[in-house]
């Protein structure tokens, strides 16, 4: 039963393009959702969360391609994505804390120094 | 442009999805999360149906039903992340989406990545997020009756954002769906050779497997794996020093973790170093940035110095 | 690696050394760095084969991006050699002349000044378009810094305007140059940036293309010269620049424009030059008289000399578009002479400014009594600038005017003994001649106000230290200053009394530049004769 | 061409074509400009060494004397020494691929009679006046002394270069060089604003004329292909240009001479250009004497005399007619102004303009000999007059007004000055047997001898010149009678020595305020004592006065052959020309002889074939060259008598008719009063300066201001506008920068979408 669910195709076997398309669509949709979130939410933390979501979407696409091509490069790349995401999370959250201390607010709109 | 999904269907589905997402964004007056979610799900469903149809008519492969479940969970929780007014819930939904994604990774036979994702993302990063959310929101809550900040309660320009984002999505999907068929299928020989190269570097594993299968005797050592007459064979050295070849049985295969490990550490050792440096720098940066009162001290110092200087000059003049 | 690479790299090395060394040593290093290239320069001057001044000598090539035909090629013909000599000569004069004027920030000042030296030599030495253009643009940066940090009150605006104005011009010129390169690639199918090679193919462009390229190049180089309607950056930059900056600006940087016209406009697009020479000449003449008259109503001595540069370089361009040997030779000679005499004038003004902290003619006066040595030098250089025969200015000015006079097609048609090709004529020379009168007017007006008359005590003069002791009259020039001015004065005198070697050195290069013009001008004269016959 | 074909043989047959020095002159003639140049260098050296003695002055005099000796030596060689001496190559530039065609200007010296004559009086007078100056500017020892003698030396060098140049460009060098020295020396008293202004004016007005000269040089070069005199005059003698084309009847012989004339008029202060010369009297008097009377201002005459073949090559004599008329008008015009002037130095200045007008008239009337001789004599007597004026000025604290001086000759120490002045005045007035008498007569006679057909209105010019000669006698003796004779009286001028030069001035002035030596003078100025000229000044004046007397005798040297020594010199120069009525050689008696055809005269077929086309004119039916002695003598005496009647004091020096008793009260005042404002106008020089100011200087100044404003506002404004355009555009686009992160992010997303769509579209399209 589990086999039926899991093994759409056993590992060394090639994955069909149709299946790949599904994964890519999920990836793109998740990316777009992250994007929409980034653009609409005003809480800095949520905005960063949305960027993480976009990372994840990219991860799905990479892993899907890795599976399709039957090599590990895509997954290796996801590890780097994870690294960068972790680094980004650390820095971004530190920044958020820093900014929050300055303005006592998490709103991205509290920062308008770049206004022309 | 030849697409695997009819463009009309694609754009319709995306439009429906867009409307749904736009609806579910928090607004000042209302938030139609549920309605929006349903509409968005309709759009996604429409497209997945279309995709499934084209996949069936194409190479006839279809993702397993588990995929559909996980995809719905992932996308749904993502929608919640971006629409939920309370950051804590958003973070929690994000964890849910991570879990669903990890499931998708397993479906893609990337077990290592699935677990790494759960550990790193759900276990480490998101927890940090939760901490920060709580840390940063605490003082905010005191002033606010409802406990909900205005910037959390109201989304910014949902229509513009959705239109721009879905336009990008449309562009991306068009590219993906029209270009997908040009992606070549993996070359079986090359894949096999790569696998053999990995096995070649894992003589112990091969030896164990062969011993378990009883294909070699104890005392014999596997020195390598290479291809012979189109079949993957293990090169076995006997006790006397003589070598022979043993065809590898089906059960001897490279696991995901092994393959990934060799790929990562064998093919990209430099980059892993760089990744380490990035993490180190991020750590240092985070420490520097988050150091409390550093900036305030500087400012205070400058102000105090200015005040002192002014006082001394006026004082000096007064004396003169 | 050739002598020329050495000449470029030496100042550059010293500039880097200044940047690295402590600030207290900057001045010494800069002095050495500017004096050292005199050695290789002399070697170059003595080893140059003047009889073949048209050839690129001391040529050397360092490949850079061979696939694109890019290389750092250097080589000089006689014109470039003389201009490099001028640059090398003015270098130490600027550095030593700034000893007392620049009080702090030595590293920045001397570092950039020395770096500028390298860039200017690079412009004249480059045989490669890219090398030329890089050097050409790089000259902007040091001067921008010098004006911006060491200028007078309005220096920021002056520096920005100087930079943006000339940079805009150069970009337009670049478009023209790039077009020539692309055209070459279109014909020959290979990339090259070698200037002589490009010149030979550029001449094959159609008349329309040539006109466009001429327009682009002239726009760029005219700004640099500067020619009449695009000159307004110069007075501002000069007024605000520190003395050394003014000297270099007037002495060498303006010559980049005329050198560009000589090398690229005249070298690349002969047909268009013949067609548009009268127009350019009219602009030059308008500039000569217009700027001269503006000089006449200036209150600021330095601004007056700055406008006079506009006027003087009008003669230079006029000589270039005369398109005959005398005009071109005179024009090249003018580049050198103007560098000497106007550079010296700026130096003189700087020396007075150091003492009185003013350049206003209302506040200065009667310096002949208080500073006789300075006044003697000033009168000398004013006379050189006025174009007094026996001094350098005259020879070149005269040759430019005679060249213009000669360059009428009518003379050729009439078969005059002294006829030489061209598309100007006596009326142009006559109009330009008024510039000679105007030059006397404004320069003597300035002399009358500043040198003669009763001594005045400018308000700005002296700082607190001197005020404490009452009015100490500023001292006359010291030995260092006398030495600097003497060098230039000797140059002026020698070039005025014995210019023949220089003229003869320039001639081969000029003849090569004019070689493509002979046939074109003859054809043009014949066409004129036909139309006249019909008319 | 046909006309020319007839003229050419006549030309070649003419025995007296332009003399072209063909040989080579000795190299040592270069000492003439060389020694003063050395002197100038020495003065620079002295200035550097801070010499405070009269050493620079004496060194200058010694070197100038050396120059004079060189000139004498060259002169004594006679015509054999005439030729070209090339010292070194100055400018040489080829004009084309053809190596032969080149513009060449060497430091080369063209020695012929004309340059010889000029060099003799230039070096001679410079030596004497240099001697005079050693004392005159002595109060500036250590201050401007070196500067003065530097410029003085440089002047002599430049003048020598001008006169001896073997090409037009070297001539131009000298031409501008004398202008520079004139500028430096007029502005010698640089603290006087008038002196500075005068110096500037002189230089600039000269420059205007120089433009003409420069254009003439250009045209000459284009037409003849050379600037060197020898080939140039060879071509002109043959009537061809550099390519062998005939030049007669073309613009060449009209335009080039007219352009040269413009240059000559600028330098010699003629017609429109005269305004600078009176102002130039602000300079030290020796300078006025040497530069602005004797030598530099005659450079214009020299130029025309030198280029005379080109002028004469024109059949219609257009340029010469212009020269003659302008000269005569200037002579008369300047004389009218003199009537109402009171500054004795300015009177001498205007007199110089007037006399230069005579010389130009003489040249224009084809009488080169007369003109050149007048240059020579004028140099002597005008220098004498100036030096005497200078002695007065030096002695009376810069006083120059003839209303405030009287009986100077009778004051202690001024006797020599008075006598010399008298001699000079006699000569300028043209009293018989003085130098001025003979030389002026030649010009006057020439005016009547030259037929009107050759020079339009020659007779009228003659009458005008006769009138001017009478006026000259009047105004000359007006000065003499009022200033030098009569009751002793003076009011010292405002400053010592006519200048004010810092520290030296105070010490010097103090020295003279010595009441015990008070002998005579105005009660109002008891502190002032006249400062009589010393040995150097007296010596110089005497030398010149004697010279003035002696040069008269030159008229009788070679009288038969060449009409005087000057004629001999002119005959051996490019200025040689068979003046109508004044043929050369004893076989051609004057006036009755058939006059040889001038260069480029109308072709025989137009005139009477084979016969002279015009006879020399007559004056009252007599040979003008004979009768003019009497006419001009009578007229001169009339002028002197008029001066005596109006201005002379009572007694013997008033010739018995004078009645002046007070320094400033004369009969003339009553006469002048009858003319209403006219004398006032004349005193103000007919307001020509004001007119120039109003119609040239002022508009030009306004134009300059307009240009300046235009440059600032319009041209630079446009530039700034272009510069402001991006800024303005930026302001427009500025609101798009909301400063909110989301705005940028949305832009980025939309931008990426657009880019991808574009890529897709491009991919589809291609």
Whole-angstrom distance, CA of residue D409 vs CA of residue D418: 5
Question: With contact defined as beta carbons under 8 Å apart, do C173 and C132 qualify?
Answer: no
D746/B161 CB distance under 8 A: yes
3-state secondary structure of C453: coil
What pLDDT score was predicted for residue C466?
44
Instruction: Supply φ then ψ for residue D664, to 5 degrees.
Output: -115, 10
Provide the shortest C-alpha distance from residue D222 to chain C (in Å): 4
Whole-angstrom distance, CA of residue C486 vs CA of residue C476: 15
Cα-based distances in Å from D628 to D435, D474, D621:
15, 19, 12
What pLDDT score was predicted for residue D614?
53
Same domain, B109 and B199: no
Same domain, B178 and B30: yes
Return left, alpha or beta for C483; rule: phi > 0 is left, psi -120 to 50 is alpha, else beta.
Answer: alpha
Whole-angstrom distance, CA of residue A104 vs CA of residue C488: 69
B274 within domain boundaries: no
Q: How many CA atoms lie within 13 A of B131 on its CB side?
A: 12
pTM for the whole thing?
0.80
> C-alpha dihedral over C325, C331, C337, C342, to 10 degrees?
170
The enclosing H or E element of C338 equals helix C325-356
B42 within domain boundaries: yes
The answer on pLDDT for D570 being more than 80 is yes
Whole-angstrom distance, CA of residue B97 vs CA of residue B84: 14
Number of domains in chain B: 2
Same domain, B52 and B98: yes
3-state helix, strand, coil in chain C (%, to 5): 75, 5, 20
Neighbour subunits, B (≥3 Cβ pairs < 8 A): A, D
Residue of D nearest to A111 (CA): D740
Same domain, B23 and B106: yes
- Which of B182, B217, B245 terminates a domain? The answer is B182
Same domain, B60 and B131: yes
The answer on pLDDT for C99 being more than 80 is yes
> Can you say how many angstroms the Cα of residue D107 is from the centroid of all Cα atoms in its chain?
23
Q: What is the pLDDT of residues D657-692, one digit of tens each?
A: 777 777 777 777 778 888 888 888 888 888 888 888
Instruction: Supply φ then ψ for residue D97, to 5 degrees.
Output: -65, -30
What pLDDT score was predicted for residue D585?
41
Burial letters B156-177, b for 16+ CB under 10 A, else e:
bbbebbbbbbbbbbbbbbbbbb
Same domain, B154 and B210: no
**Mean pLDDT across the stretch C105-123?**
91
Question: With contact defined as beta carbons under 8 Å apart, do D21 and D29 qualify?
Answer: no
**Mean pLDDT across the stretch D358-372?**
90
Whole-angstrom distance, CA of residue C422 vs CA of residue C420: 7
C429/D723 CB distance under 8 A: no
For the record, the structure tokens of C15 come out as 């500039």
The interface pTM score, or ipTM, of the predicted complex is: 0.74
Whole-angstrom distance, CA of residue D437 vs CA of residue D441: 6
Taking CA D324 as the corner, what is the angle to CA D180 and CA D239, rounded to the nearest 5 degrees?
A: 90
Cα-based distances in Å from D713 to C488, D705, D707, D721:
36, 12, 10, 10
C294/D187 CB distance under 8 A: no
Whole-angstrom distance, CA of residue C125 vs CA of residue C508: 17
Instruction: Supply φ then ψ for residue D106, to 5 degrees.
Output: -100, 165
What pLDDT score was predicted for residue C333?
93
A47/D738 CB distance under 8 A: no
Q: What is the DSSP letter of C126?
A: B
What pLDDT score was predicted for residue D316?
81
Q: What is the DSSP letter of D406?
A: E
- 3-state SS of C205-241 is CCHHHHHHHHHHHHHHHHHHCCCHHHCCHHHHHHHHC
Among D647, D602, D627, D331, residue whose Cα is nearest residue D453: D602
| Confidence label for C178 from pLDDT (cuts 50, 70 and 90) | very high
> In terms of DSSP H, where are the helices of D396-488?
415-429, 435-449, 458-479
Determine which of A103-107, B15-19, C255-259 has the lowest per-residue pLDDT on average: A103-107
C416/D242 CB distance under 8 A: yes
275-294 in chain B: CB under 8 A from chain A: 275, 278-279, 281-283, 285-290, 292
The radius of gyration of chain D's CA atoms, rounded to the nearest angstrom, is 31
Whole-angstrom distance, CA of residue D441 vs CA of residue D429: 11
The answer on pLDDT for D479 being more than 50 is yes
Provide the shortest C-alpha distance from residue B5 to chain A (in Å): 10
Q: How many CB atoms lie within 10 A of CB B300?
A: 11
Domain containing B141 equals 7-182
Whole-angstrom distance, CA of residue A37 vs CA of residue B151: 13
Q: What is the pLDDT of residues B27-47, one digit of tens each?
A: 877 777 888 888 888 888 888
B116 within domain boundaries: yes
What pLDDT score was predicted for residue D583?
56
Whole-angstrom distance, CA of residue B119 vs CA of residue B99: 10
- 3-state SS of C379-409 is HHHHHHHHCCECEHHHHHHHHHHHHHHHCCH
What pLDDT score was predicted for residue C142?
92
Whole-angstrom distance, CA of residue D595 vs CA of residue D602: 14
Neighbour subunits, A (≥3 Cβ pairs < 8 A): B, D
**Mean pLDDT across the stretch D255-265?**
92
Same domain, B199 and B172: no
Q: Work out whether strand D102-111 and strand D405-406 pair parallel, antiparallel, or are unpaired.
A: unpaired
**Mean pLDDT across the stretch B56-64?**
76
Q: What is the pLDDT of residues C233-243, one digit of tens each?
A: 999 999 899 99
Return left, alpha or beta for D499; rule: phi > 0 is left, psi -120 to 50 is alpha, else beta.
Answer: beta
End-to-end CA distance of chain D: 77
Q: What is the pLDDT of residues C442-476, one digit of tens each?
A: 999 898 888 888 887 765 544 444 444 445 667 88
Same domain, B162 and B119: yes
Is the torsion defined by CA of D519, D520, D526, D528 positive or negative? Answer: negative
Burial letters D482-517, b for 16+ CB under 10 A, else e:
bbbbbebbbbbbebbbbbbbeebbeebbeeeeeeee
- A115 to chain D: which residues are within 8 Å by CB? 737-740
The residues near D479 (Cβ < 8 Å, ≥ 6 apart) are D344, D347, D402, D425
The residues near C113 (Cβ < 8 Å, ≥ 6 apart) are C30, C94, C95, C98, C142, C146, C244, C248
Q: What is the pLDDT of residues C22-61, one digit of tens each?
A: 888 888 999 999 999 999 999 999 988 888 888 888 888 8
Whether residue C226 has a cis bond before it, omega within 30° of 0: yes
B268 within domain boundaries: no
Q: What is the pLDDT of residues C345-391, one digit of tens each?
A: 999 999 999 888 888 888 888 888 888 889 999 999 999 999 888 89
What pLDDT score was predicted for residue B94?
93
- B168 to chain D: which residues are within 8 Å by CB? 749-750, 752-753, 756
The enclosing H or E element of B243 equals strand B243-247
Whole-angstrom distance, CA of residue C289 vs CA of residue C438: 7
Taking CA C225 as the corner, what is the angle to CA C216 and CA C423, rounded to the nearest 5 degrees?
A: 70
1-40 in chain A: CB under 8 A from chain B: 4-9, 11-12, 14-26, 28-37, 39-40
> In terms of DSSP H, where are the helices of D595-715?
624-647, 667-674, 678-683, 688-692, 698-710
Same domain, B248 and B158: no
What pLDDT score was predicted for residue C302?
92
* A16-107 CATH fold: Helix Hairpins (1.10.287)
The residues near D567 (Cβ < 8 Å, ≥ 6 apart) are D369, D373, D558, D561, D584
- A109 to chain D: which residues are within 8 Å by CB? 740, 742
Question: With contact defined as beta carbons under 8 Å apart, do C366 and C453 qualify?
Answer: yes
Whole-angstrom distance, CA of residue D567 vs CA of residue D577: 10
Q: What is the pLDDT of residues C396-427, one digit of tens each?
A: 999 999 999 988 888 887 878 878 878 888 89
D241/C416 CB distance under 8 A: yes
For the record, the structure tokens of D498 come out as 């006519």
**Mean pLDDT across the stretch B289-297?**
64
Same domain, B167 and B246: no
Whole-angstrom distance, CA of residue A25 vs CA of residue A17: 12
For the record, the structure tokens of B188 come out as 């079986």
Q: How many CB atoms lie within 10 A of CB C35?
A: 14
Judge whether B154 is closer than 8 Å to chain A, CB to CB: yes
Instruction: Say what angle helices B203-213 and B188-200 make with each other, to 10 degrees.
Output: 100
Among C296, C534, C307, C270, residue whose Cα is nearest residue C423: C270
What pLDDT score was predicted for residue B100?
94
D97/C290 CB distance under 8 A: no
Among C317, C164, C135, C338, residue whose Cα is nearest residue C250: C338
Among C420, C326, C380, residue whose Cα is nearest residue D169: C326
Whole-angstrom distance, CA of residue B175 vs CA of residue A27: 14
Question: With contact defined as beta carbons under 8 Å apart, do D380 and D125 qualify?
Answer: yes
The answer on pLDDT for D604 being more than 80 is no
Domain ranges of chain A: 16-107
Determine which of C236-250, D349-363, D656-670 has the lowest per-residue pLDDT on average: D656-670
Q: Considering chain D, what is the average pLDDT of its residues?
A: 82
Question: With contact defined as beta carbons under 8 Å apart, do D390 and D405 qualify?
Answer: no
Q: What is the pLDDT of residues D55-110, one digit of tens each?
A: 888 999 999 999 999 999 988 888 877 888 888 888 888 877 565 678 888 888 99
Q: Considering chain B, what is the average pLDDT of its residues?
A: 82
What pLDDT score was predicted for residue B291?
76
Q: What is the pLDDT of residues D410-441, one digit of tens each?
A: 888 888 899 999 999 999 998 888 888 989 88
B267 within domain boundaries: no
Partners of residue D84 on adjacent β-strands? D110
Q: What is the pLDDT of residues A3-55, one digit of tens each?
A: 444 444 455 677 788 888 899 999 999 999 999 999 998 888 899 999 999 99
- Which of B258, B284, B308 terminates a domain? The answer is B258
- Which of B203, B234, B258 terminates a domain? The answer is B258
The enclosing H or E element of B53 equals helix B33-57
Provide the shortest C-alpha distance from residue D207 to chain A (in Å): 60
In angstroms, how far apart are the furthest CA atoms of chain A? 62
D708/C434 CB distance under 8 A: no
C418/D173 CB distance under 8 A: no
B78 within domain boundaries: yes
What pLDDT score was predicted for residue B296?
55
Whole-angstrom distance, CA of residue C192 vs CA of residue B220: 68
Same domain, B95 and B58: yes
Same domain, B230 and B160: no
A109/D740 CB distance under 8 A: yes
**Mean pLDDT across the stretch D11-18?**
45
- A113 to chain D: which residues are within 8 Å by CB? 739
The answer on pLDDT for B80 being more than 80 is yes
- The structure tokens 């040198």 sit at C451
| Confidence label for C534 from pLDDT (cuts 50, 70 and 90) | low
- What percent of chain D lies above the pLDDT cut of 90? 24
> In terms of DSSP H, where are the helices of D396-414?
none
């Amino acid at each position: 039963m589990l086999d039926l669910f899991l093994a759409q195709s056993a590992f060394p076997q090639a994955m069909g393009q149709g299946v790949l398309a599904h994964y890519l669509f999920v990836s793109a949709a998740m990316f777009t959702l992250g994007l929409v979130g980034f653009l609409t939410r005003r809480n800095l933390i949520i905005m960063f969360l949305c960027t993480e979501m976009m990372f994840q979407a990219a991860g799905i696409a990479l892993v899907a391609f890795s599976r399709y091509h039957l090599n590990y490069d895509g997954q290796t790349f996801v590890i780097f994505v994870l690294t960068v995401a972790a680094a980004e999370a650390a820095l971004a959250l530190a920044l958020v804390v820093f900014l929050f201390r300055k303005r006592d607010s998490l709103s991205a709109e509290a920062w308008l120094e770049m206004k022309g | 442009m030849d697409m695997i999904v009819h463009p009309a269907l694609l754009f319709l589905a995306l439009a429906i999805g867009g409307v749904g997402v736009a609806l579910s964004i928090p607004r000042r007056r209302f938030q139609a999360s549920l309605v929006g979610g349903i509409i968005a799900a309709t759009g996604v469903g429409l497209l997945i149906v279309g995709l499934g149809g084209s996949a069936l008519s194409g190479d006839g492969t279809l993702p397993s039903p588990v995929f559909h479940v996980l995809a719905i969970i992932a996308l749904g929780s993502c929608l919640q992340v971006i629409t939920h007014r309370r950051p804590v819930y958003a973070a929690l939904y994000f964890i849910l989406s991570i879990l669903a994604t990890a499931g998708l990774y397993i479906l893609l036979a990337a077990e290592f990545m699935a677990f790494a994702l759960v550990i790193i993302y759900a276990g480490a990063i998101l927890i940090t997020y939760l901490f920060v959310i709580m840390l940063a929101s605490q003082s905010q809550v005191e002033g606010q009756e409802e406990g909900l900040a205005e910037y959390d309660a109201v989304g910014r320009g949902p229509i513009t954002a959705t239109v721009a984002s879905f336009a990008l999505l449309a562009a991306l999907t068009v590219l993906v769906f029209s270009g997908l068929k040009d992606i070549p299928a993996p070359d079986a020989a090359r894949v096999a050779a790569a696998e053999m190269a990995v096995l070649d570097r894992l003589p112990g594993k091969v030896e164990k497997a062969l011993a378990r299968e009883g294909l070699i005797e104890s005392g014999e050592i596997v020195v390598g794996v290479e291809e012979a007459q189109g079949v993957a064979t293990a090169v076995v050295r006997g006790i006397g020093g003589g070598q022979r070849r043993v065809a590898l049985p089906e059960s001897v295969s490279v696991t995901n973790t092994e393959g990934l490990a060799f790929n990562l550490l064998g093919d990209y050792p430099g980059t892993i170093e760089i990744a380490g440096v990035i993490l180190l720098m991020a750590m240092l940066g985070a420490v520097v940035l988050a150091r409390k009162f550093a900036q305030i001290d500087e400012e205070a110092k400058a102000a105090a110095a200015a005040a002192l200087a002014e006082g001394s000059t006026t004082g000096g003049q007064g004396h003169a | 690696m050739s002598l020329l690479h050495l000449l470029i790299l030496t100042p550059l090395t010293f500039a880097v050394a200044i940047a690295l060394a402590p600030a207290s040593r900057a001045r010494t290093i800069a002095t050495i760095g500017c004096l050292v290239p005199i050695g290789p320069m002399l070697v170059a001057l003595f080893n140059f084969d003047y009889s073949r001044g048209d050839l690129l000598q001391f040529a050397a090539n360092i490949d850079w991006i061979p696939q694109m035909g890019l290389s750092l090629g250097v080589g000089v013909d006689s014109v470039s050699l003389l201009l490099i000599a001028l640059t090398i000569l003015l270098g130490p004069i600027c550095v030593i002349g700034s000893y007392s004027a620049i009080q702090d920030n030595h590293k920045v000042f001397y570092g950039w000044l020395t770096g500028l030296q390298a860039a200017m030599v690079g412009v004249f030495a480059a045989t490669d378009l890219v090398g030329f253009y890089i050097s050409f643009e790089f000259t902007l940066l040091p001067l921008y810094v010098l004006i911006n940090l060491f200028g007078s009150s309005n220096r920021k605006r002056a520096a920005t305007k100087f930079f943006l104005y000339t940079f805009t011009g150069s970009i337009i010129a670049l478009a023209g140059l790039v077009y020539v390169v692309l055209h070459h690639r279109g014909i020959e199918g290979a990339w090259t940036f070698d200037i002589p090679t490009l010149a030979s193919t550029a001449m094959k462009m159609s008349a329309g293309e040539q006109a466009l390229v001429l327009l682009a190049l002239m726009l760029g180089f005219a700004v640099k010269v500067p020619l009449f309607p695009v000159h307004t950056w110069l007075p501002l930059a000069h007024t605000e620049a520190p003395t050394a900056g003014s000297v270099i600006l007037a002495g060498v940087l303006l010559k980049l424009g005329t050198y560009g016209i000589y090398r690229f406009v005249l070298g690349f697009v002969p047909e268009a030059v013949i067609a548009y020479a009268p127009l350019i000449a009219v602009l030059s003449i308008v500039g000569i008289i217009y700027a001269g008259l503006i000089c006449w109503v200036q209150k600021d001595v330095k601004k007056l000399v700055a406008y006079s540069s506009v006027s003087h370089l009008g003669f230079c361009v006029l000589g270039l578009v005369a398109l005959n040997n005398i005009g071109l030779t005179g024009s090249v000679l003018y580049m050198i002479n103007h560098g000497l005499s106007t550079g010296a004038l700026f130096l003189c003004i700087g020396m007075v400014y150091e003492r009185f902290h003013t350049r206003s003619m209302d506040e200065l006066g009667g310096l002949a009594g208080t500073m006789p040595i300075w006044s003697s030098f000033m009168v000398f250089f004013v006379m050189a600038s006025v174009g007094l025969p026996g001094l350098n200015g005259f020879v070149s000015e005269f040759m430019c005017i005679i060249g213009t006079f000669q360059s009428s097609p009518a003379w050729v048609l009439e078969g005059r003994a002294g006829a030489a090709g061209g598309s100007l004529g006596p009326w142009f020379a006559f109009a330009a001649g008024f510039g000679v009168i105007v030059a006397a007017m404004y320069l003597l007006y300035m002399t009358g106000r500043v040198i003669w008359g009763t001594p005045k005590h400018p308000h700005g003069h002296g700082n607190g230290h001197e005020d404490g002791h009452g009015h100490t009259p500023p001292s006359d020039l010291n030995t260092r200053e006398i030495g600097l001015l003497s060098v230039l004065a000797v140059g002026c005198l020698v070039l005025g009394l014995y210019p023949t070697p220089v003229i003869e050195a320039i001639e081969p290069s000029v003849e090569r530049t004019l070689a493509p013009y002979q046939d074109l001008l003859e054809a043009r004269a014949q066409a004129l004769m036909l139309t006249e016959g019909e008319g | 061409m046909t006309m020319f074909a007839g003229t050419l043989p006549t030309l070649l047959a003419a025995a007296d074509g332009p003399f072209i020095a063909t040989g080579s002159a000795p190299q040592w003639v270069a000492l003439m400009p060389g020694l003063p140049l050395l002197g100038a260098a020495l003065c620079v050296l002295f200035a550097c060494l801070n010499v405070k003695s009269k050493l620079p002055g004496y060194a200058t005099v010694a070197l100038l004397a050396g120059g004079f000796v060189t000139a004498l030596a060259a002169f004594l060689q006679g015509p054999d020494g005439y030729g070209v001496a090339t010292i070194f190559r100055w400018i040489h530039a080829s004009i084309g691929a053809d190596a032969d065609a080149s513009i060449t200007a060497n430091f080369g010296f063209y020695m012929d009679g004309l340059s010889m004559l000029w060099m003799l009086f230039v070096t001679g007078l410079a030596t004497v006046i240099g001697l005079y100056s050693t004392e005159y500017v002595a109060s500036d020892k250590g201050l401007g002394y070196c500067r003065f003698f530097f410029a003085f030396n440089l002047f002599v060098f430049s003048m020598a270069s001008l006169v001896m140049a073997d090409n037009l460009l070297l001539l131009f060098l000298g031409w501008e060089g004398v202008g520079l020295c004139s500028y430096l020396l007029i502005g010698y008293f640089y603290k006087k604003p008038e002196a500075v202004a005068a110096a500037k004016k002189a230089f600039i007005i000269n420059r205007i004329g120089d433009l003409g000269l420069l254009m003439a040089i250009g045209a000459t070069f284009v037409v003849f292909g050379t600037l060197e005199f020898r080939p140039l005059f060879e071509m002109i003698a043959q009537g061809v240009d550099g390519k062998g084309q005939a030049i007669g009847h073309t613009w060449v012989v009209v335009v080039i001479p007219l352009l040269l004339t413009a240059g000559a008029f600028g330098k010699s202060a003629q017609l429109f250009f005269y305004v600078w010369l009176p102002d130039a009297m602000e300079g030290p008097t020796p300078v006025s004497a040497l530069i602005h009377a004797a030598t530099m201002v005659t450079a214009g005459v020299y130029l025309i005399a030198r280029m005379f073949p080109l002028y004469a090559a024109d059949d219609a004599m257009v340029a010469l007619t212009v020269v003659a008329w302008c000269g005569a008008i200037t002579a008369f015009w300047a004389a009218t102004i003199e009537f109402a002037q009171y500054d004795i130095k300015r009177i001498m200045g205007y007199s110089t303009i007037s006399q230069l007008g005579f010389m130009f008239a003489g040249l224009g009337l084809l009488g080169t000999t007369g003109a050149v001789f007048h240059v020579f004599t004028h140099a002597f007597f005008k220098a004498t007059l100036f030096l005497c004026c200078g002695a007065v000025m030096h002695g009376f604290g810069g006083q120059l007004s003839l209303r405030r001086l009287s009986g100077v000759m009778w004051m202690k120490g001024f006797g020599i000055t008075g006598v010399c002045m008298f001699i000079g005045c006699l000569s300028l007035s043209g009293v018989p047997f003085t130098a001025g008498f003979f030389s002026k007569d030649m010009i006057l006679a020439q005016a009547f001898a030259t037929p009107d057909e050759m020079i339009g209105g020659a007779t009228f010019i003659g009458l005008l010149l006769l009138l001017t000669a009478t006026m000259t006698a009047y105004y000359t003796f007006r000065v003499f009678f009022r200033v030098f004779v009569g009751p002793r009286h003076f009011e010292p001028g405002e400053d010592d020595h006519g200048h004010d030069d810092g520290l030296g001035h105070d010490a010097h002035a103090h020295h003279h305020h010595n009441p015990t030596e008070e002998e005579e003078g105005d009660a109002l100025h008891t502190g002032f004592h006249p400062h009589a000229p010393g040995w150097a000044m007296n010596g110089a004046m005497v030398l010149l006065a004697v010279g003035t007397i002696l040069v008269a005798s030159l008229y009788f040297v070679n009288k038969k052959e060449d009409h005087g020594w000057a004629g001999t010199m002119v005959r051996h120069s490019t200025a040689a020309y068979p003046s109508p009525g004044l043929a050369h050689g004893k076989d051609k008696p004057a006036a009755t002889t058939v006059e040889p055809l001038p260069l480029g005269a109308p072709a025989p077929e137009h005139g009477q074939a084979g016969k002279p086309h015009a006879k020399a004119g007559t004056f009252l039916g007599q040979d003008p060259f004979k009768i003019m002695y009497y006419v001009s003598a009578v007229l001169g005496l009339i002028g002197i008598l008029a001066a005596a009647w109006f201005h002379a004091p009572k007694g013997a020096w008033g010739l018995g008719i004078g009645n002046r008793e007070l320094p400033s009260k004369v009969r003339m005042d009553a006469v002048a009063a009858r003319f209403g404002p006219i004398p006032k106008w004349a005193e103000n020089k007919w307001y020509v300066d004001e007119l120039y100011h109003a119609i040239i200087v002022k508009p030009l100044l306004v134009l300059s201001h307009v240009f300046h404003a235009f440059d600032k506002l319009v041209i630079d404004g446009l530039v700034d506008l272009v510069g402001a355009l991006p800024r303005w555009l930026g302001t427009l686009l500025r609101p798009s920068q909301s400063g909110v992160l989301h705005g940028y992010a949305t832009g980025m997303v939309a931008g990426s979408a657009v880019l991808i769509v574009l890529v897709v579209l491009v991919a589809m399209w291609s």
